[in-house]
Amino acid sequence: MSDYLPVEVILEILKRLPIKSLVKCRSVCKTWNSLICNPSFISTHLQASLSEPNNTPFILLRCFKKGKENYFLHYDNDDFDEFKQLQFPVFGCLSCSEVVDSCHGLVCLTFSPQDVLNFIFWNPSIQKYITLPQPNIYCYTDDVRLNFGFGFDSRTNDYKLLIVGVEKGETLIEPYLFSLNENCWKRVTPTSPKYAVEAGISSTFVNGALHWLGYQRGKNGGFSNAILGFDLSNEEFLEISLPESLVWLCPMDLSTMRYGESSIAVLKRDWEDGELFELWVMKEYGVVESWTQVLALHLIDQSGGFPRVLGFRKNGEVLLQVDDGEMASLDLNCQQMEPHGVEVGAELSYVGSYVESLVLLDKAVDVRSVSDANHARDSSDSDESSDGECEIT
């Protein structure tokens, strides 16, 4: 075909194909393999997927069933149908991993053997991964608590991972930033706002920035809250004011989440008022006056327990986990909850939007090489005991 069609036409055809077909097309000839693995084509195909109006978006779920780590893709449609289960390879000791976040088909994983941080970027759609160099920081000490944020820098077409450390005195220390393009860590030198963030709280990536709930503790023991952000392109911190009714609350009662394509929301849970949920959305990103309360409701599921708010769906409904593991949606207009009949179990640890992509195809290691190495190691003489360290090939 390449003998009769211009390269431009071939690229127009290829960029409309699904990921599974493109991976197979790499075997057609060297020319096609070179075209598909080109960073420019990888980016073009991703943008075409994101902008295609007829594409049904996916939701990525990570849960544990019978002690096994599982990843599933579901259609974000009325029936919440399962698209497929993703094959999760065991990267050495990665069974004790945590998901930092996912972006453009990449899943950022972290694990900490012997209190040393390790990170992996994994693309389950093409079964490729890359191991990040270790940052020069210990993850758990008496004086430092850590949070992580993962997102995309559109200005440099780069994926970045931020480590935010909080000292014992509840002030941010100089953060670390990883760049996939440069494959290295660096310290972020711009002065950060004088806010602390709770350890282990996931960030919200939207509008090119990572967001956490930040707080300051007053001399009288009270709190002052705001949204603490970090712009991945400018590599600078930013601050977004909250509605007045949320500013002075205990920060443990608040959490951030993505709202739509380009803004944020804050969930308030009032434990003293019979589990009252309040949901505030910023209709226009960065405009404090656009904060709007869209939900104030006492939520109790059929089991008599309290549902877990997971985030917003593409249609604007709120996705919930109810009845100790069932998925449901809440329509904000009529405030009615409808179950989906999908059981994910109580140990659901991550939910996020997902798009299949070719990201990492040009620079990553094939996951199968890890599986083969693990199988060979498991088949070797068991008397040769290891020293307890995790090895990633």
Domain annotation covers residue 332: no
Rounded mean pLDDT, 326-355: 88
Domain annotation covers residue 32: yes
Of the pLDDT bands very low, low, confident and very high (cuts 50, 70, 90), residue 93 is low
Q: List pLDDT tens digits, range 130-160.
A: 999 988 875 556 677 788 999 999 999 999 9
With 0-12 / 13-18 / 19 or more C-beta atoms within 10 angstroms meaning exposed / middle / buried, residue 178 is: buried
Place of tokens 């694990």: 111
Tokens of 318: 């709120």
Of the pLDDT bands very low, low, confident and very high (cuts 50, 70, 90), residue 341 is confident
* 192/365: higher pLDDT: 365
Q: How many domains does the chain have?
A: 1
Domain annotation covers residue 43: yes
State the Cα–Cα distance between residues 349 and 96, nearest whole angstrom: 12
Domain annotation covers residue 364: no
Structure confidence at residue 389 (pLDDT): 30
Domain annotation covers residue 357: no
Return all residues near 361 (Cβ < 8 A) that are at least 6 apart: 36, 37, 42, 123, 126, 128
Q: List pLDDT tens digits, range 149-200.
A: 999 999 999 999 999 877 766 667 778 999 999 999 999 876 667 788 877 7
Rounded mean pLDDT, 355-376: 71
Residue range(s) defining the domain that contains residue 35 = 7-49
Sheet with 291-298: list strands edge to edge.
Answer: 254-259, 263-270, 276-282, 291-298
Domain annotation covers residue 224: no
Domain annotation covers residue 245: no
Domain annotation covers residue 18: yes
pTM of the entire structure? 0.87
